[in-house]
Structure 1
Amino acid sequence: MGTAGCSPSPRLRALGALAGATLLFTLWLLWQFRPAPVRVPAPPRTLLVLIWHWPFADQPPELPSNTCTRYGVAHCHLSTNHSLLASADAVVFHHRELQTRRAHLPLASRPRGQPWVWASMESPSHTHGLGRLGGIFNWVLSYRRDSDIFVPYGRLEPHEGPAPPLPAKKGVAAWVVSNFQARQRRVQLYRRLAPHLRVDVFGRANGKPLCASCLLPTVARYLFYLSFENSQHRDYITEKFWRNALAAGTVPVVLGPPRANYEAFAPADAFVHVDDFGSAQELASFLAGVNASSYRRYLAWRDRLRVRLFEDWSERFCAICAQYPHLPRGQVYWDLKAWFQA
């Protein structure tokens, strides 16, 4: 006699369906709230900056892979290899070589959209041929504060600890000059100043050149240094101010842009500006008659600040990588001459 099959009761079927639904719901929750996969960020891409002609050099320097790392800029490679033009992230052209036509722009080979950088640390008075460079460059590297890549000749940085000692002062004023031309305002001012103040003049112009390691120790023995720029333009404050005076530990007497422009770079009481005096004789009387306490105030900044010089072209070019993420894309200097001479 056969045995009849038994089917699950409605209650068991309901419990089974509920258990299945619960399992599916639990799996769905686990899926929704699963840990996000750990993503390892891709390493930053190394930027390639091509320098078309190294400034003022017949042969470029060696550029090891850690060149920019030495200046605190990572993932930046400098090269002078023209064969890398197509792959360069930016190409730099120093104006002096363009001006003298030692270097030529590879316009026919320029990759579409590649940023080109115009670089110069010279003043507008000594910069020629800009009229033919309109509509070519995207970024400017210069001492001008409104440059895309701003590279001053120097700056003051916070400093802790005692200031370096200064040697005893033996004279009132010194001046180091090689290019001495009667038409220059600095030469005209010196000639008006000299009859009223002893200024010891060094440099090729006076037949007393100083070796590189002799300049600062020589200047440091004077109360004042004539930081006279060869031409007067906005932000054009060169090593004559930063290195020859401030870094040497003497007080600069400045001829350059207006006082307010200098005060954007240094404390107002760190220098003497020629524009503060009605005549060269008045300036001479002030310099010769300054007392010890007044003089010390000119050097008070040394207790909290130190001079940082920017003299290496490699460091200047590495600044392109440091600024690269923030530089304007699609910008073109259609009239570079008008911008630079403004």
Structure 2
Amino acid sequence: MNSAGYSLSRRLRAVGVLAGAALLSAIWLLWLLGSPPTGGPAPPHTLIILIWHWPFSDRPPELPSNTCISFGVAHCHLSTNHSLLASADAVVFHHRELQTQQARLPLAKRPRGQPWVWVSMESPSHTHGLGRLGGIFNWVLSYRRDSDIFVPYGQLEPHQGPAPPLPAKKRVAAWVVSNFQERQRRVQVYRQLAPHLQVDVFGRANRQPLCANCLLPTVAQYLFYLSFENSQHQDYITEKFWRNALAAGTVPVVLGPPRATYEAFAPADAFVHVDDFSTAQELASFLANMNESHYRRYFAWRDRLRVRLFGDWRERFCAICTHYPHLPRGQVYQDLQGWFQA
């Protein structure tokens, strides 16, 4: 091959190499542009929370896909459809229906590793049959602060703006009660208190029930409300404190867990605790002789805080999704009875 031919051959090879490199670069660029970005967050998984039996009802509410979004919780779907057992991210069992055997645990069909949630907002005194539930449940949802999913009956949250005016007060003390049993401490305290303080009793126990929309307006007319729990247990502070008293705009006189527990939820000067007095007569005298300026100090919290109630079971169940990423995997309550009734 002469020098001219050799030179042409070299140029052709160079062109071929450049063309090949350009083709590879084009292919790589097209692949890069068409590939999904790496390292970015994966689309969030929508958690399926299966409620095996809706609390206190054989007819569960409608549960549209935006149910939890309405409570500020995204990517969370509540369902009562038993066919979702195999795919649910967690299954919820409310204890009352297990206790009455309206619902049964589908142990034979339980998917391996599926978290089960035991739920109760009742006190240990009214919770039975826990002995047969050991070694089954992974998480607990209750009013107890040491629960995996802690859902109180209410809480005080920051509030800006003027506090709503206090309702006008016409009478001294009110108590709404349906379950009235002489063995209960609250009934014993009431019996001791009544001779020394005017207490108007409403509810089925006194054959004066109040309609759902009548309770708060009625209680609001009173200076004090007897927020007496049916039993005294750890963290057991119910709507008797949050709704019937604080939300109504009256001062709660509380009988329940120790004062320190109430102070973990509310300011120390937002309530009167029965245990602060040696006798019921001493308590009655304290309430009856309170002047107006002293009384109004019990509402100082309203300038910066407001009551938020948690009474909707849908909101309680949506809270499972909020806690889900942080819940302990592999945990099992081997002695559920021992834990709850401690």
Following TM superposition, the consecutive aligned residue runs of length 4 or more in structure 1 with deviations greater than 3 angstroms are: 3-8, 34-41
Task: Give the partner amino acid of 1:250.
Answer: T
Deviations 1:166-216 (A, max 9, x none): 221011111001111001000000000000000011111111111111100
CA-CA distance at 1:222 after TM superposition: 0.7
> What residue is the counterpart of 2:124 in the other structure?
124
> What residue is the counterpart of 1:88 in the other structure?
88
SS in 1 for 2:85: helix
CA-CA distance at 1:5 after TM superposition: 7.0
From the superposition, tell whether residues 108 and 276 of structure 1 become closer, same or farther in structure 2 (CA, over 3 Å).
same
> What residue is the counterpart of 2:292 in the other structure?
292
CA-CA distance at 1:327 after TM superposition: 0.3
> What residue is the counterpart of 1:13 in the other structure?
none
> What residue is the counterpart of 2:60 in the other structure?
60
Give the distance between the partners of 1:184 and 1:160, measured in 2 at CA: 40
CA-CA distance at 1:42 after TM superposition: 2.7
Alignment of 1:36-75 (within 5 A): 38-39=37-38, 41-75=41-75
Give the distance between the partners of 2:75 and 2:228, measured in 1 at CA: 39
CA-CA distance at 1:163 after TM superposition: 1.2
TM-score in terms of structure 2 length: 0.90
Task: Give the partner amino acid of 1:229.
Answer: E
SS in 1 for 2:195: helix
Alignment of 1:106-145 (within 5 A): 106-145=106-145
**Structure 1 unaligned spans of 5+:** 9-15
Deviations 1:6-35 (A, max 9, x none): 999xxxxxxx9xxx9xx9xxx9xxx9xx99
Give the distance between the partners of 2:306 and 2:180, measured in 1 at CA: 31
Q: Which has the larger radius of gyration?
A: 1
Give the distance between the partners of 2:3 and 2:265, measured in 1 at CA: 104
CA-CA distance at 1:38 after TM superposition: 3.7
CA-CA distance at 1:251 after TM superposition: 0.4
Give the distance between the partners of 1:5 and 1:104, measured in 2 at CA: 94
Give the distance between the partners of 1:303 and 1:4, measured in 2 at CA: 99
Task: Give the partner amino acid of 2:146.
Answer: D
> What residue is the counterpart of 1:302 in the other structure?
302
Give the distance between the partners of 2:182 and 2:162, measured in 1 at CA: 43
Task: Give the partner amino acid of 2:57.
Answer: A
Q: Does 1:252 align with 2:270?
A: no
Alignment of 1:132-211 (within 5 A): 132-211=132-211
> What residue is the counterpart of 1:235 in the other structure?
235
CA-CA distance at 1:265 after TM superposition: 0.3
Q: Does 1:76 align with 2:76?
A: yes
SS in 1 for 2:141: strand
Give the distance between the partners of 1:164 and 1:151, measured in 2 at CA: 26
**Structure 2 unaligned spans of 5+:** 8-13
From the superposition, tell whether residues 4 and 324 of structure 1 become closer, same or farther in structure 2 (CA, over 3 Å).
closer
SS in 2 for 1:86: coil
SS in 1 for 2:118: strand
Task: Give the count of matched residue pairs.
Answer: 322
Task: Give the partner amino acid of 2:66.
Answer: N
Give the distance between the partners of 2:312 and 2:36, measured in 1 at CA: 46
The Cα RMSD (Å) is 2.1
Deviations 1:271-320 (A, max 9, x none): 00000000000000000000111111101100100000000000000000
CA-CA distance at 1:321 after TM superposition: 0.5
Task: Give the partner amino acid of 1:156.
Answer: L
Task: Give the partner amino acid of 2:270.
Answer: A
TM-score in terms of structure 1 length: 0.90
Task: Give the partner amino acid of 1:179.
Answer: N
SS in 1 for 2:112: coil
Give the distance between the partners of 1:276 and 1:297, measured in 2 at CA: 18
CA-CA distance at 1:37 after TM superposition: 7.2
From the superposition, tell whether residues 153 and 4 of structure 1 become closer, same or farther in structure 2 (CA, over 3 Å).
closer
Give the distance between the partners of 2:270 and 2:5, measured in 1 at CA: 105
> What residue is the counterpart of 2:318 in the other structure?
318
> What residue is the counterpart of 2:336 in the other structure?
336
